[in-house]
């Protein structure tokens, strides 16, 4: 029997992040993917690869979700970049049209290279309308600070505290990704499952940011949960996929290389 997973995310035209990464990750883990596009991001090569961002009309977002959820029995969804308060309201309403087993929220506030200020109203809408519906959230360093109110994450205990605080906003499971901003030689992620912290650590591969790592991690967790994998094992698989994908990263003319999901072998 085929396992389905759904993604509600933005297109990043170079294939290094967002919707494209989600579908590649689902496929690599043997899960049939479909999804709704929330926005289209086209980096501008003539303007330092700045983000050209076009939101999809809310009615069109609604229609895409209606089509997929009517066509197939889908109980697991990943939510990536939403981008505007209007999109967030539409997605929140669409999610409430059925029951879900897993709602994995990658709380994308800003992308690499974007201005932090632009995210404030989106941040508020995400916190109020989507986080309470999520069963899993995967904030990165910056998103964990913003959502938890902690200024700096300097130790594993800080990551753990941020995860616990984000969990109080709704999601039962929170994975905080330390990434390149977390001090030290290890890429550390922590999972708070409501009772205890599990630490996932791998040596950092280089000191440069890689595009698509966060999307890949959340999409891989989503695919594994869709298959019925337990959350601790799902994060373990996802971390292994991201690590192998960064080792095999694809260089580009953009400021960041991107994760290669095809490198992962289970
Ligand atoms: O990596 C975050 C991200 C997610 N989704 C889309 C993006 C980006 C970053 O560029 O463009 C569509």
Using CA positions, which residue lies closest to atom 10 of ligand 1? Answer: 111
Q: Quote the CA–CA distance of 44 and 203 in Å, as a whole number.
A: 33
203 within some domain: yes
Q: What's the half-sphere exposure (Cβ side, CA atoms, 13 Å) at 172?
A: 6
* pLDDT at residue number 112: 53
| Percentage, residues of the chain above pLDDT 70 | 96
- The DSSP-derived string for the chain is ---EEEEEEEEETTSSSHHHHHHHHHHHTT-EEEEEEEEEEEEETTTTTEEEEEEPPHHHHHHHHHHHHHHS---EEEE----SHHHHHHHHHHHTTS--SEEEE------TTS-GGGGHHHHHHIIIIIGGG-SEE--BHHHHHHHH--S---SHHHHHHHHHHHHTTS-SEEEEE-GGGSSSSEEEEEEE-SS-EEEEEEE--SSS-EETHHHHHHHHHHHHHHHT--HHHHHHHHHHHHHHHHHTPBP-SSSSEE--GGG---
Q: Quick one: tokens of 233? A: 């094992």
**Quick check: is 96 in a domain?**
yes
Does residue 123 carry a pLDDT above 90? no
Mean pLDDT along residues 39-48: 95
Q: How far apart are CA 17 and CA 224, in angstroms?
A: 19
Does residue 198 sit within a domain? Answer: yes
Choice from 7, 23, 24, 41 to test ligand 1 binding pocket (greatest atom count within 8 A of CB): 41
Residue whose Cα lies nearest atom 6 of ligand 1: it is: 18
Percent of the chain with pLDDT over 90: 91
- Residue 109 is predicted with a pLDDT of 81
Q: What is the pLDDT of residues 250-266, one digit of tens each?
A: 999 999 999 999 999 98
The predicted pLDDT at position 122 comes to 85
The pLDDT, as a whole number, for residue 266 is 85
Cα–Cα dist 7/9, whole Å? 6
pLDDT at 102 over 90: yes
Q: Note whether 195 and 239 are within 8 A (CB).
A: no
**d(C-alpha 142, C-alpha 140), whole Å:** 6
Q: Please, which pLDDT band fits residue 26 given cuts at 50, 70 and 90?
A: very high
Average pLDDT, the chain: 95
CB-defined site of ligand 1, < 6 Å:
9-12, 17-18, 41, 80-81, 108, 111, 214-215
Instruction: For residues 44 and 109, give the distance between their C-alpha atoms in angstroms, rounded to a whole number.
Output: 20
* Count of the separate structural domains present in the chain: 1
Residue 68 counted as domain residue: yes
pLDDT mean over 11-25: 98
* Domain-located, residue 266: no
pLDDT over 80 at 110, yes or no: no
Q: Per-residue pLDDT averaged across 232-237, rounded?
A: 98
Res 94 pLDDT > 70: yes
Looking at residues 157-176, what average pLDDT do you find?
A: 98
Return the CATH number at 21.
3.40.1190.20
Q: By residue range, what is the domain housing residue 48?
A: 4-261
Question: Ligand 1, closest atom to CA 53?
Answer: 11
37 within domain boundaries:
yes
Is pLDDT above 70 for 115? no
Could you tell me the pLDDT band of residue 118, with boundaries at 50, 70 and 90? low
Which of ligand 1's atoms lies nearest the C-alpha of 11? 12
Structure tokens at 217: 């991690």
pLDDT, tens only, 51-83 = 899 999 999 999 999 999 999 999 999 999 999
Residue 111 binned pLDDT confidence (cut-offs 50, 70, 90): low
């Amino acid at each position: 029997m085929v396992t389905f997973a759904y993604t509600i995310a933005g297109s990043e035209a170079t294939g290094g992040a967002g919707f494209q990464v989600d579908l590649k990750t689902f496929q690599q883990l043997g899960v049939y993917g479909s999804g709704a596009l929330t926005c289209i991001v086209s980096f501008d090569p003539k303007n330092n690869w700045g983000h050209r961002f076009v939101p999809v009309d809310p009615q069109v977002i609604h229609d895409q979700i209606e089509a997929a959820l009517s066509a197939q029995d889908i109980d697991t969804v990943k939510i990536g970049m939403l981008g505007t308060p209007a999109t967030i309201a539409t997605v929140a309403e669409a999610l409430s049209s059925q029951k879900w087993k897993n709602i994995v929220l990658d709380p994308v506030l800003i992308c690499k290279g974007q201005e932090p200020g632009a995210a404030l109203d989106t941040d508020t809408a995400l916190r109020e309308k989507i986080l309470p519906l999520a069963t899993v959230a995967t904030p990165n360093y910056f998103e964990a600070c913003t959502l938890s109110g902690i200024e700096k994450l300097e130790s594993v205990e800080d990551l753990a505290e941020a995860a616990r605080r984000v969990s109080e906003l709704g999601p039962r499971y929170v994975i905080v990704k330390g990434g390149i901003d977390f001090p030290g030689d290890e890429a550390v992620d922590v999972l708070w499952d409501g009772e205890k912290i599990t630490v996932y650590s791998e040596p950092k591969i280089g000191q440069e940011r890689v595009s698509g790592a966060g999307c890949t991690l959340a999409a891989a967790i989503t695919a594994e949960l869709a298959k019925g994998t337990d959350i601790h094992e799902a994060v373990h698989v996802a971390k292994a996929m991201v690590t192998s994908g960064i080792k095999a990263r694809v260089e580009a003319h953009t400021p960041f290389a991107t994760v290669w999901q095809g490198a992962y072998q289970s």
